[in-house]
């Protein structure tokens, strides 16, 4: 299979976008590949795709997610909007003639997957979370296969569990050395580096709790150094008085810092958890209680089972507990695990094998 034409969708947040990006970039290295990417107009994928991809045509879709609870009458309008967009998607796919569709779920996948099904285009799904999202659970019946990030997710697909393949969650490749990271930040190489982040949108809750922790830390005696990403639009001045903290609103290649950290303090988003697992980092995970179907909690528990981290629920977070967990985490040995193929390689192997039948 020398040449490929691939339709893609998955965006809105980094959790949906970065797995698609990782797969697409690896496909481009292996094959002469052209992409048709259906983005969510105005969201993260729509803003980045043309910068991150080569040989891509972008089609922004004006879609939004269903409101909770699902039975709200206003959702009728949302469903109608999706059906209108599905007609646009079908028209674009007919012109592009993709070999297959790769979708990472989320509400944008509804019109895209439905259009691909009508055109008999092979559909491959990826589920990032331990607890599968509504889109993938509803659309798996149309898929050739669904790739899952956690083995325990397989049974959650019920009668379609036979379509599930445990691959893990694709992450971006690392190119920078630890020495480069420390030199750039002006940090001391023999002190621990702790990366604090609240997901692609940031977290005011984590920002506030960490400020309380920084007040607790002894400035002169600490062996801790913090890289704190607050999220865009959040005030940085509050962090300036702490010499052991470097704060930024946003870091484009944050995964490079995560991969070199001694510890990560984070929400339980799929991309964050995947990077921690793949880079074998230690972590303290504070799941966002407002996440759909509480999926961040299940992601965090899956990571904890691997011996890589602690889970602290929002209502239990105190600066004293955080400091205790930091000290315990840094002193713990990480459980050794066998080396498997990269998730992105497993996904591509599965797709090519199915397409070659």
DSSP output for 185-213: HT--TTSEEEEEE--TT--HHHHHHHHHH
Q: Is 12 annotated as ligand-binding? A: no
DSSP output for 215-255: HHS-TTT--EEEEEE--TT---GGGTT-TTEEEES--TTHH
* Cβ–Cβ < 8 Å for 124, 99: no
Q: Is 10 annotated as ligand-binding? A: no
Q: Is 251 annotated as ligand-binding? A: yes
Q: Is 129 annotated as ligand-binding? A: yes
Of the candidates 8, 20, 4, the one whose C-alpha atom is nearest the C-alpha of residue 170 is 20
* Cβ–Cβ < 8 Å for 238, 269: no
Q: Is 77 annotated as ligand-binding? A: no
Number of H helices, E strands in the chain: 12, 13
Q: Is 218 annotated as ligand-binding? A: no
User: In Å, how far are 18, 24, 66, 268 from 293, measured between CA atoms?
Assistant: 21, 28, 13, 13
User: In Å, how far are 157, 171, 274, 283, 346 from 259, measured between CA atoms?
Assistant: 32, 11, 11, 12, 21
Binding-site entries: 13-15, 129, 172, 200, 251, 296
Q: Which residues belong to the annotated binding site for UDP-N-acetyl-alpha-D-glucosamine?
A: 13-15, 129, 172, 200, 251, 296
């Amino acid at each position: 299979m020398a040449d490929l034409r691939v339709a893609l969708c998955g965006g809105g947040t980094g959790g949906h976008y970065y797995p698609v990006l990782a797969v697409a970039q690896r496909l481009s290295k292996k094959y002469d590949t052209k992409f048709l990417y259906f983005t969510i107009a105005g969201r993260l994928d729509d803003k980045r795709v043309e910068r991150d991809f080569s040989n891509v045509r972008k089609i922004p879709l004006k879609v939004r997610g269903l409101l909770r609870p699902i039975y709200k009458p206003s959702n009728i309008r949302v469903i109608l909007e999706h059906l209108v967009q599905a007609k646009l998607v079908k028209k674009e796919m007919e012109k592009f003639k993709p070999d297959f569709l790769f979708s990472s779920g989320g509400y944008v996948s509804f019109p895209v997957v439905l259009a691909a099904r009508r055109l008999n285009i092979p559909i491959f799904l990826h589920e990032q979370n331990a607890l599968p999202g509504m889109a993938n659970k509803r659309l798996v019946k149309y898929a050739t296969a669904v790739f899952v990030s956690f083995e325990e997710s397989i049974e959650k697909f019920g009668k379609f569990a036979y379509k599930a393949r445990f691959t893990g969650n694709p992450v971006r490749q690392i190119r920078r050395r630890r020495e480069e990271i420390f030199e750039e930040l002006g940090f001391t190489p023999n002190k621990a580096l702790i990366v604090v982040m609240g997901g692609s949108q940031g977290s005011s809750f984590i920002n506030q709790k960490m400020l309380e922790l920084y007040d607790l830390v002894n400035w002169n005696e600490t062996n801790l150094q913090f890289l704190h990403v607050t999220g865009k639009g959040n005030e940085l001045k509050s962090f300036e008085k702490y010499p052991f903290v470097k704060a930024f609103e946003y870091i484009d290649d944050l995964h490079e810092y995560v991969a070199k950290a001694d510890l990560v303090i984070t929400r339980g988003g799929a991309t964050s958890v995947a990077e921690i697992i793949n880079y074998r980092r230690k972590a303290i995970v504070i799941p966002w209680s407002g996440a759909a179907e509480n999926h961040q909690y299940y992601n965090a528990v899956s990571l904890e089972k691997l011996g890589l981290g602690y889970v602290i629920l929002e209502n239990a977070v105190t600066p004293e507990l955080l400091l205790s967990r930091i000290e315990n985490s840094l002193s713990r040995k990480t459980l050794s695990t066998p080396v498997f193929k990269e998730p992105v390689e497993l996904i591509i192997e599965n797709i090519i094998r199915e397409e070659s039948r």
